[in-house]
Chains A and B, each alone.
Chain A
Amino acid sequence: VTEPDLIAACLRGDPRAQRQLYNQFAGLMLTVCRRYLKRQEDAEEALLLGFAKVFRALPTFRQEGSFEGWVRRIMVNEALMELRRREPLHLSFEDFAQPENLAATPATADTQLQADELLALLQTLPPGYRAVFNLYALEGYSHLEIAEALGISEGTSKSQLSKARAMLQRRLAPQPTSF
């Protein structure tokens, strides 16, 4: 079944097509949500609400761009909303100076890092840093778009990205071996 046919069947309310669409994107989108949210349950809640929005807004999809990109954008918005509900973003400003957030975590070589380890690393970031890093580095948003999405200034977005990277690099740095 091609993607337009699948979308058309979903628009007709075909339950099998809806299930197929869900199966096709649920795993990918759950990872997207987990990048933003620390707890698995919150990520699943965002996924659930995101899919509900996808099926509700399906008639508005104009089939001009990538359908996966359209779904991903909905999921990112839903994850950010869930993030605001669960982990207030303003905490990130205060949390940055906390020593425990700056502590390096032991890590293997970059190439050997698995997805779950990367997710675990992301989840150690304060919510604001995590959101900015995800939006900029993985979603490709500009700082202007990030500022609009999070309700912050562009300068704050740049600053938080820089600090998020610094924290990640520190945690990825190989631990000095002591003899």
Chain B
Amino acid sequence: MASGNNLDDLFRQQLGQHATPPGEDLQRRLAELAEAERLDQLFRTGLGSHASQPRRALWERLEDEHLRPPARRRRGVVAWWQLSAAAMLLLALLGCGLWRSGYLGPRPGLATTQPVSRPAVRAGVRGPGQPLASGQDQLLVKESIAVTLARHSKKNQENRTTRATAATFSPSSPPIATTARPRRSAPAPLAARRFHLQPQQPDAATGALATTGRRAPAGQPQPPTPAGTPEVPASRSLSTMTAMVAPAEIIEVDVRRGPAPPPRPPRW
């Protein structure tokens, strides 16, 4: 046991404080490591906290290309929808205005110009007991008739040389004012339209009140004529209409004048 302690003491005394000098290879490797560390440290301290100044345009590019574009696109879509809605509203207002002025659609008690084949013509028929139109409405009606006739006349003059007119009159029918649209002019018997003008209707060219007529089959009883209304010959009306409206286009104008409306009872 004592010899074991002596052995330990021997090694402790000999090697405890002894410094072995590193070999050349180890020295070289340690030097390289120190040099590498020094190199790394040089770059770390020199560049670790260094700030370069970016160009000002870079932030603007970042905003334009990455930060704001989605919002801009959304705004663009919203503006597009707003524009579309505004355009639709404008068109609706325009259509409503034209409708109210009697230019596009039938107006009770006033004149309209409708294609013969449309059933909406019947909506414009005013019975003898219905009220008369006002003076302003009459003027509007006259203007709309004149504009329509002029337009159709111009169009049909262009088509007259190429298209045949199928407007014929039945000899058994009452006097009528008939024009046929070019697209409906194929068979003459089918294309023949018979219309009854109200006996009291003045000619549209005279500037008198005009209302929409109704297609009536032959033999159908005519509404009663109010007393005291000057009667316009149907033949005159027919000739005037056919002269103004080209034969290839059906323009129907019925002018009616009914009795004065009964006074409304006062509303309390």
Contact = CB atoms under 8 A, between A and B. Distances in A.
A28 interface: yes
B42 A27 contact: no
B50 to A, nearest CB: 4
Contact of A169 (B39, B52, B55, B59): B39
A31 B39 contact: no
Contact of B36 (A18, A47, A165): A165
A119 B58 CA distance: 21
A97 interface: no
The majority secondary structure among interface residues of chain A is helix
B35 interface: yes
B66 A31 contact: no
Given A44-B54, A110-B42, A115 B62 contact: no
Interface string B43-82: 1101111111111001101110111000000000000000
B40 to A, nearest CB: 4
A124 to B, nearest CB: 13
Interface residues of B, number: 26
Contacts of B46: 113-115, 118
The majority secondary structure among interface residues of chain B is helix
A19 B68 CA distance: 12
A30 B44 contact: no
A35 B47 contact: yes
Interface stretch (A48-56, A78-86, A87-95): A48-56
Nearest to B61: A48
Contacts of A52: 62, 65-67
Contacts of B47: 31, 35, 115, 118-119, 138
B52 to A, nearest CB: 4
A63 to B, nearest CB: 22
Contacts of A136: 40
B35 A30 contact: no
In this complex, the interface size class of chain A, counting residues with CB under 8 Å from chain B, is 20 to 34
Contact of A48 (B40, B48, B53, B58): B58
A18 to B, nearest CB: 6
A22, A113, A114 pick with most chain B CB within 10 angstroms: A22
B49, B51, B52, B65 pick with most chain A CB within 10 angstroms: B52
Interface in A126-149: 133, 136-138
Contacts of A15: 63, 67
Nearest to A51: B62
B42 to A, nearest CB: 5
Contacts of B44: 137-138
A26 B66 contact: no
Contact of B39 (A22, A56, A168): A168
Contacts of B36: 165
A55 B54 contact: no
A168 B40 CA distance: 10
Contacts of B62: 22, 48, 51-52
A133 B50 CA distance: 17
Interface string A163-174: 001001100100
B116 to A, nearest CB: 65
Interface in A1-43: 15, 18-19, 22, 26-28, 30-31, 34-35
Given A113-B46, A138-B48, A30 B66 contact: no
A30 B43 contact: no
Interface in A100-118: 110, 113-115, 118
A52 B70 CA distance: 13
A44 B58 contact: yes
A27 B53 CA distance: 5
Interface string B193-208: 0000000000000000
Given A30-B53, A52-B66, 4 more contacts: A27-B53, A30-B51, A51-B66, A168-B39
* Closest A-B pairs by Cβ, 8 of them: A27-B51, A52-B66, A137-B40, A115-B50, A30-B52, A118-B46, A28-B51, A31-B52
Interface of B: 35-36, 38-40, 42-44, 46-55, 58-59, 61-63, 65-67
5 contacts: A26-B59, A30-B51, A48-B66, A115-B46, A133-B43
